[in-house]
Structure 1
């Protein structure tokens, strides 16, 4: 009976070790996912504007659309802010590569939508659709009907859920009150809005970000916070690992007294630890995959994840072997 209880306690402690180490590994992998996708997350929380976005007003009462689109630099996007009631209504114009948001249904804009005077819209998942015409979903703005070609959104609440994007065209370009240009570099945007024939006098202003992500993103705070949290989890994992190693003391002592070599003992300890570590890594990878599938705001890089998993596995293995070797030498 006593032997049975001892075995049960060891198994329960093994389970505890799996959970603690798995939590640390999951935190490491999730931090890696965040860092690889931070630009996408920032764009979602900043209404699709990236770090190179320039916010400006122009002295021109109406922009010339026939000049505007050909003048737009490659791989750039321009937004025009329209006034709406409860929704964020914007005109959009892009050329070349553009990081499109997650589509729930339909499609996003294509460059052909800007080269013809079509009237199409992409809306957030929380925007109501009161109009239908010939079995097409429609939305009205300024007395003009736009065909809804796509719905965007994620499994987590974001600012784009109540966003209405209209293809910028001759019908709505004069309604813009504020504009945003984002290119591959800030200088590219500055060169574009410096076109006085198109924009006249331009006034730049700073967009106020009030979302939590922006507040946390000041300076090096995200790195500091992540480092502190990971350090705490690592210390907890190490503490539990040391307790698990203490459970192995009697086994190590018996093998040492029976003439086992140090290398053989270290191999046996690692063989006992490796399955537990493997389960922890599998659980961590599984939770990361589930989180990526649910949020759909982050994507997992197979190469980075595989490299991180190998590094974590080797690191924990070296810690166990080092502790065991130190205990053997001290005997």
Structure 2
């Protein structure tokens, strides 16, 4: 109880409450951003906003996608034209790729390609409301018929909101014969798009890059603009609240600072000590909220592993921003908070 009264008297209690609320706001914004990006990707049918569409020039080719010369992660889709009631694609990726929300089973892994398998991941509506005749069960396993071939279904994907992946069927690229259709690639390597050529095992293969109209929630809702606005808004809150919280903190502790100074402790040492106490309180509040949110997300399974990594990265960046704004505001208030004490006189008696 004495500690509680001390915290209330020196302003620490309100500082803890305010930074807990601010930390919850930052963590909630991070989670919102992740779910918004997920929704954008799902409504685009797993295509990145920076993806590009291409076709091979001349006759269709069959290439080994493992030998694509790039040091960037990539995912390539072959848009199969099988005249089905749902969208079907062949897929290959190297390194890591986006893992959509899974209703059951699992998504593809790197070991599912070029190992003689025929496997599929279906949207939660494939075989339910559409394409029912192409999905069947045998010996307790689910199978999927595509282009006269049978694929074992290893997972069902879909979110709690409707999206294009609900009626999407994906199969491993190496199990499909040569199809002269469109390809779509998600990659950060823009060289292929600009050069209009793929380098496969040091051989250049010309491609025709096709300009396709953007689609998905991001186009219709303008969420990219709103997300940037939210980030600017949160950064403004961090900056303003840091300034106000620091002003409140130092005003509450002026008497303590004056007493320590009168007892022979230099203002510089007092200033450093008070600043460390302030940053320690901020770090504890933010750390508790961040760790708690990450734990809950893991327990509830609300986001994928990759999304969890992104969430942790974002809250670390936000923590750096909080510390930066705190230090800047402390520096700004230094003259208003401590120098006036010294200006009242040089005598400590």
Say whether the fold is shared (TM-score over 0.5): yes
Q: 2:216 aligns with which of 210, 215, 229?
A: 210
In 2 relative to 1, CA 312–84 (structure 1 residues): closer, same or farther, beyond 3 Å? Answer: same
Where 2:63 maps in the other structure, the secondary structure is helix
Q: CA deviation at 1:253?
A: 3.8
Contact kept in structure 2, 1:47 and 1:160, CA below 8 Å: yes
Maintained 8 Å contact 2:243/2:326? no
Deviation readout 1:208-243 (Å, 9 max, x if unpaired): 22313883336xx75454123211232123213322
Distance, in Å, in 2 between the alignment partners of 1:200 and 1:318 is 53
SS in 1 for 2:285: helix
Q: Residue 232 of structure 2 aligns with which residue?
A: 227
Give me the whole-angstrom Cα distance separating, in 1, the residues matched to 2:4 and 2:189: 66
TM superposition shift of 1:105: 2.9
Distance, in Å, in 2 between the alignment partners of 1:164 and 1:325 is: 64
- Specify which structure has the bigger relative contact order, considering alpha-carbon pairs within 8 angstroms and separated by 6 or more residues: 1
The aligned residue for residue 91 of structure 1 is: 90
User: Partner of 1:196 in structure 2?
Assistant: none
Q: Which runs of 5+ in 2 are unaligned?
A: 129-134, 200-204, 342-349
User: Which whole-Å deviations, capped at 9, do the CAs of 1:122-170 have from their partners, x for residues lacking one?
Assistant: 1245655762112221134466542112344678876535432023478
What secondary structure does 2:338 align onto?
Answer: helix
Deviating more after overlay: 245-254 vs 75-84:
75-84
> Following the alignment from structure 2 to structure 1, what is the Cα–Cα distance between the partners of residues 270 and 43?
53
The residue that corresponds to 1:316 in the other structure is 326
**Conserved in 2, the CA contact under 8 Å of 1:90 and 1:166?**
yes
* Structure 1 equivalent of residue 254 of structure 2: 249
1:289 Cα offset (Å)? 2.3
Find 2:45's aligned residue among 28, 47, 55: 47
State whether structure 2 residue 332 is matched by structure 1 residue 328: no
Q: What pairs up with 1:55-94 in 2 under 5 angstroms? A: 55-56=53-54, 67-70=61-64, 73-74=68-69, 77-82=76-81, 83-85=83-85, 87-92=86-91, 94=92
TM-score by length of 2: 0.64
Does the CA contact (< 8 Å) of 2:52 and 2:209 recur in 1?
no
Structure 1 pair 10–181 and aligned structure 2 pair: CA distance change class (3 A): same
State how 1:297-316 maps to structure 2 within 5 Å: 297-300=307-310, 309=319, 312-313=322-323, 316=326
Give, in whole Å, the separation in 1 of the partners of 2:276 and 2:54.
Answer: 63
- Of 118, 121, 142, which residue of structure 2 is paired with 1:137? 142
Q: CA RMSD in A?
A: 5.0
Count of paired positions: 313
Matched residue SS, 1:289: helix
Q: Note if 1:236 corresponds to 2:236.
A: no
Question: Is residue 24–residue 230 contact of structure 1 (8 Å, CA) maintained in 2?
Answer: no
The 1:127/1:184 distance shift into structure 2, 3 A limit, reads: same
Contact 1:73 / 1:183 at 8 angstroms: preserved in 2? no
Q: Which residue of 2 aligns with 1:120?
A: 119
CA distance in structure 2 between the partners assigned to 1:4 and 1:305 by the alignment: 30
